[in-house]
Amino acid sequence: MDLAQTYELWRGMMRDGVSLEWWQTFFVRFYQAFLEADRWQSYLEGVGITLLTTAIALAIGVALGVVVAMLRTAHDQQRPGRPRNPVLGAANALCKVYVTVIRGTPMMVQILIMGLVIFSSSRNFTAVGALTLGINSGAYVAEIIRGGLMSLDSGQMEAGRSLGLNYFDTMRFIVIPQAFKAILPSLGNEFIVLLKDTSMISIIGGQELTFFARNIVTRTYDAMMPLLGAAAIYLALVLIFTWLQGKLERRLRQSDRR
């Protein structure tokens, strides 16, 4: 008797009101959630889309974050006593509004607004979700990068400028490479947060892992197995990335111990 037959038999018994052993019930529920009708493929597809959404959101987030952080830092580092650049001033004000609004409102509300108000006519919910996550992440990444740039000893900037290098060369060759190493742990954390937050785009129909898990819940009338399964998959993904992050950090630290 193979698994499928066992499943059919025991499920029939459950329906008829026969009381089964706990492990028999567990098997039926597990089979129903993951194996029946090849449902495991749905989870797999969900994981793929979750990872893709994370990658897109991360790319948007880092791009936005770098631009915002550079603009704000450039504005803050203008030489005191000289007239301030009005273009930078306007850009800085805009960046401040962006960071304040994004950090001051819940992610869930942002996703609902993007999905149901701004892009209400779009059917590509996953893309709208990824875009929202990217915009959200950008605000946090911007603050991480800005913190990294500002944490660097001001003597580094002074040394570069005193040699006659201009502001952008000094940033490019001296400040940014050092700041990058400093912010890598925080960026890794942001990445992990982003990976888990993709689950929220299922609220507007984004088809990632949580979306498929909930679909199976409605199909089978059993919430426990699909949700625990989804949780286990998220945990596994996060553990993998935490491990990778640790490896990368150890490698970077090695270059300090010269």
Report if residue 258 touches other proteins, rule: CB under 8 A: yes
Report if residue 159 touches other proteins, rule: CB under 8 A: yes
Which of 12, 89, 177, 246 is in the footprint of other proteins by CB under 8 A?
A: 177
Long-range contacts of 104-111 (CB under 8 A, 24+ apart): 107/133, 107/136, 107/197, 107/200, 108/200, 108/203, 110/135, 110/136, 111/200, 111/201, 111/203, 111/204
Report if residue 161 touches other proteins, rule: CB under 8 A: yes
- Look up residue 98 and give its amino acid: Y
3-class DSSP assignment, residue 257 = coil
The nearer residue to other proteins, 29 or 161, going by C-beta atoms, is 161
Q: CA-CA distance, 119 to 142, in Å (whole number)?
A: 25
User: CB of residue 248 vs other proteins: minimum separation in angstroms?
Assistant: 17
Q: CA-CA distance, 211 to 208, in Å (whole number)?
A: 5
Q: CA-CA distance, 255 to 258, in Å (whole number)?
A: 6
Report if residue 215 touches other proteins, rule: CB under 8 A: no
- Burial of 107: CB neighbours in 10 Å, binned 0-12, 13-18, 19+: middle
Report if residue 165 touches other proteins, rule: CB under 8 A: yes
Report if residue 178 touches other proteins, rule: CB under 8 A: yes
User: CB of residue 78 vs other proteins: minimum separation in angstroms?
Assistant: 10
Which of 2, 17, 153, 221 is in the footprint of other proteins by CB under 8 A?
A: 153
Which of 81, 250, 251, 254 is in the footprint of other proteins by CB under 8 A?
A: 81
Q: Are 163 and 88 in contact (CB under 8 A)?
A: no
Report if residue 251 touches other proteins, rule: CB under 8 A: no
The nearer residue to other proteins, 13 or 252, going by C-beta atoms, is 252
Q: CA-CA distance, 47 to 121, in Å (whole number)?
A: 26
Site string for other proteins, 4-43 (x = CB under 8 A): ----------------------------------------
The nearer residue to other proteins, 76 or 158, going by C-beta atoms, is 158
The nearer residue to other proteins, 170 or 198, going by C-beta atoms, is 170
The radius of gyration of the chain from alpha carbons, rounded to an integer in Å, stands at: 25
Interacting residue ranges for other proteins, rule: CB under 8 A: 79-83, 153, 155-156, 158-166, 169, 173-174, 177-178, 181, 256, 258
